[in-house]
Structure 1
Amino acid sequence: MRKIILASHGDLAKGMKSTIKMLSGIDDNIVAVGFYDGEDVKNVFNKVESMLNIEDEFIIITDLPGGSVNTVLTPLVRRGNVHLISGMNTVLVLMLALCTSYEIECILNCIDEGKTSMVYVNEILKENKKEESGDFFD
């Protein structure tokens, strides 16, 4: 069975889990773990490690590349059944939740979709306005 573990600073992981459930109805195989002020980051490691088993395959998604949550969970990739991705966003998590396999190609495709989903709307509106009027500042 495939499982997703969302791990973040504060409540981002919990909010992301709620968002994915709202958008897709998927809830059963997604777990959220938060790291909070005053807590030892090793507690995050211990919580996540206790969820791992040999039979299942896991994707751990963290919020911040190089952040304390991502750093403390990095040793878990030594297990053959753990994938670690950092830079959590809704499209990335939704795509992974909907994936039918965790083949490397599928994971990389989900990451690409997550990256391309980020746009600067002001620029898009500016370009659309230029196309409509010929000059944005008319």
Structure 2
Amino acid sequence: MANIILFSHGQLATGLADSCKLIIGENHFKVLNILLDQNIQEIKNNLDVMIQSFDDNQPVIVVTDIPGGSTTQTAIQRISDNKLLYVVTGMNLGLVMSLSFLSLSQDDEDNKNKIRDAIEESQKGIYLVNDVISCNDELSDDDDL
């Protein structure tokens, strides 16, 4: 399983980690939530400690909730210090589950390709269900989407 830090505003990261544990069993996620009473330096320090808690020279994926948000900006600032740190934004359950099964290595380009594939796969699970239903006029309760 990949080394993953879920980094969000509020308790979103905690909720996703709990949901993943329910669906796939034990996970190895580290969770960092930004709360109202925290200052930016405390948040940066907490992220640094989490990144350093993984074995040296091991790839780490930081999954953030929104592009351009403080979680993403804080994580981006750490990329130059760690060539095997990958920041993925747009946190959702499908994405986190896909990323969790990745087997990453010391090969930066291979890691990026695997992460891109996981992102692309999770994007396929985002759609307007009404469009699917309108294509299947006789969809019953037993049908899968």
Match of 1:17 in 2: 17
SS at match of 2:57: coil
Equivalent pairs counted in the alignment come to: 130
For residues 110-135 of structure 1, the C-alpha deviation after alignment (integer angstroms, 9 at most, x for no partner) is 11012111011111111211x88xxx
- What is the alpha-carbon distance in structure 1 between the residues aligned to residue 11 and residue 101 of structure 2? 23
Structure 2 residue 104 is matched with structure 1 residue 101: yes
Matches within 5 A, 1:81-96: 81-96=84-99
Matches within 5 A, 1:55-94: 55-78=57-80, 79-94=82-97
- What is the alpha-carbon distance in structure 1 between the residues aligned to residue 38 and residue 118 of structure 2? 31
For residues 3-61 of structure 1, the C-alpha deviation after alignment (integer angstroms, 9 at most, x for no partner) is 1000000000000111111111132x211110012322332221111122333221000
In the alignment, structure 1 segments of 5+ residues that lack a partner are 133-138
- What is the alpha-carbon distance in structure 2 between the residues aligned to residue 121 and residue 31 of structure 1? 32
The alignment-based identity, stated in percent, is 26
RMSD over aligned Cα atoms: 1.8
Matches within 5 A, 1:25-64: 25-27=25-27, 29-53=28-52, 54-64=56-66
The structure whose Rg is larger is: 1
Match of 2:3 in 1: 3
Maintained 8 Å contact 2:2/2:60: yes
Q: Could you tell me the TM-score, scaled by structure 2's length?
A: 0.82
Maintained 8 Å contact 1:2/1:56: no
Match of 1:136 in 2: none
Against the structure 1 CA distance between its residues 94 and 114, is the aligned structure 2 distance closer, same or farther, given a 3 Å change threshold? same
Shift of 1:84: 0.4
Shift of 1:69: 1.2
SS at match of 2:38: coil
